[in-house]
């Protein structure tokens, strides 16, 4: 479709790229090829952009230096005005992200010493210093973009006009889709096992009260893969995506207080609140999940086989069976229908479907019930499920009533692009900008020369 141009493609490529390694801190003055407000662009930044894109498998032969330079100027325009608009990115936030990037680099290259050598730095400290400013600029850029777009909404009339405005030969084609439903049966955890976990957490809690390190206990005992290596640390506010039970306990504690063991869908927890900063809470937690017995797994499989047989024998519909018997609360009241996490509608485009789910449903005919499937979710443990395909939609040209949600997404994206372009045009006029003569012949998408 013509309304997604190359400049926007580049922007999308860079939003989540590893181009954090793109702005050396100490350089020769003659390496500066552009200045935007308080930020400079170095010729070496453009070289590093090419390296980053190639590392991601992008074919760069049709991407010019002028296009990459234009993207560098845009990022600095965002970052400069983020500072002017009092957008704050803390050092802790930058360091947290930087740690993740360095961990990923170590995993890919082999060791932190090899990463240091790869980037020609003397030691880890110099490596971190080198990347710190670039990470901070990227985060400021991201926050500024979000601020520009946060108020952009679209009405049904605008969606209709957008669709009518697409030339007939450019109406998009949407890929094949399917609607999927499932019934889940979780194995039942015995009361003795629950008591064992609660007793262990109470023992850990008492040790901490007596002076032991909560950090060390979390490293040793917590089964939360997202925080155990960091001593169970999380920073959250009331809008952070944690389960309700966890948030309720976290915001009920005073600084330094340790909760009693409590249960969520992931297992049993204890929380220690370290700091309360306005609406934010910094805490550490320990998660231990009760273990499921072999007999409990056998019982769960037998139960879901009985449910499947009743559906096949027309004793109950799949939807009613899900409502009465499924242990998955997110889908139970909807007859087991799965929602696409990207669009929050009950359609999955086959080319974008999770590979595991696709493998489970691809061979099913409409309304056929799968055999029991042993599955596992992070934090939720193993369970059995059966799946059915409620509906299939073949590849087709966009239809306004049938594909309204997707068309709305396209229309909103188009409006956001125009809003960004308007903001950029206005800010270029009021910002100090200097472009090297080496790039004077570039045909930029934006008016960087202020002609």
Please write the tens of the pLDDT for every residue from 96-142: 888 877 877 787 778 888 878 777 678 888 778 777 888 888 899 99
Residue 39 has a CB neighbour count (10 Å cut-off) of 20
Q: Write b or e for each residue in 169-208: b if 16 or more Cβ atoms lie within 10 A of its Cβ, otherwise e.
A: eeeeebeebbbbbbbbbbbebeeeeeeebbeebeebbeeb
Per DSSP, the three-state class of 242 is coil
Show the low-confidence residues of the chain (pLDDT under 50). 1-30
Residue 378's pLDDT is what? 64
Furthest CA-CA distance within the chain: 80
- Nearest-angstrom CA–CA distance, 284 and 271: 6
229: nearest Cα among 95, 100, 112, 334: 100
- Nearest-angstrom CA–CA distance, 326 and 337: 11
Residue 4's pLDDT is what? 37
Q: Could you tell me if 341 and 352 are in contact, meaning their C-beta atoms sit under 8 angstroms apart?
A: no
The model's pLDDT over 162-194, given as tens digits with 9 standing for 90+, comes to 999 999 999 999 888 899 999 999 999 889 999
Strand partners, 369: 388
């Amino acid at each position: 479709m013509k309304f997604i141009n190359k400049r926007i493609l580049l922007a999308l490529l860079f939003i989540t790229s590893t181009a954090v390694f793109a702005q050396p801190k100490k350089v020769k003055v003659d390496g500066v090829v552009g200045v935007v407000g308080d930020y400079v662009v170095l010729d070496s930044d453009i070289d590093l952009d090419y390296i980053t894109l190639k590392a991601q498998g992008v074919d760069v032969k049709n991407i010019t230096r002028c296009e990459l330079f234009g993207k560098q100027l845009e990022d600095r325009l965002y970052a400069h005005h983020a500072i002017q608009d009092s957008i704050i990115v803390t050092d802790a936030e930058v360091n947290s992200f930087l740690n993740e990037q360095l961990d990923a680099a170590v995993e890919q290259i082999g060791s932190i010493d090899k990463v240091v050598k790869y980037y020609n730095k003397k030691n880890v400290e110099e490596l971190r210093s080198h990347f710190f400013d670039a990470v901070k600029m990227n985060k400021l850029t991201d926050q500024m973009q979000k601020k520009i777009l946060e108020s952009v909404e679209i009405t049904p009339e605008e969606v209709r006009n957008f669709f009518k405005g697409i030339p007939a030969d450019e109406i998009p084609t949407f890929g094949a889709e399917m609607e999927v439903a499932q019934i889940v049966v979780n194995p039942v955890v015995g009361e003795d096992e629950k008591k064992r976990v609660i007793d262990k957490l109470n023992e850990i809690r008492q040790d901490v009260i007596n002076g032991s390190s909560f950090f060390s206990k979390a490293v040793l005992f917590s089964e939360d893969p997202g925080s155990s290596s960091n001593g169970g640390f999380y920073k959250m506010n009331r809008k952070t995506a944690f389960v309700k039970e966890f948030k309720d306990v976290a915001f009920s504690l005073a600084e330094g207080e340790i909760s009693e063991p409590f249960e969520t869908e992931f297992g049993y927890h204890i929380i220690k609140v370290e700091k309360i900063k306005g609406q934010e809470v910094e805490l550490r937690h320990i998660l231990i999940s009760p273990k499921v017995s072999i007999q409990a797994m056998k019982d769960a499989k037998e139960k879901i086989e009985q449910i499947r047989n009743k559906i096949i024998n027309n004793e109950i519909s799949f939807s009613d069976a899900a409502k009465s018997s499924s242990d998955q609360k997110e889908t139970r009241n909807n007859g087991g229908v799965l929602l696409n996490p990207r669009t929050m509608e009950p359609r999955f485009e086959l080319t974008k479907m999770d590979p595991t789910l696709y493998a489970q449903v691809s061979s099913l005919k409409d309304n056929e019930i799968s055999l029991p499937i042993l599955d596992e979710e992070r934090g939720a443990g193993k369970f059995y499920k059966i799946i059915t395909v409620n509906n299939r939609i073949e590849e087709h040209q966009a239809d306004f009533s049938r594909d309204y949600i997707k068309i709305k997404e396209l229309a909103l994206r188009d409006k956001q692009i125009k809003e960004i372009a308007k903001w950029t045009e206005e800010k270029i006029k009021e910002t100090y900008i200097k472009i090297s003569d080496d790039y004077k012949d570039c045909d930029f998408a934006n008016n960087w020369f202020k002609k």
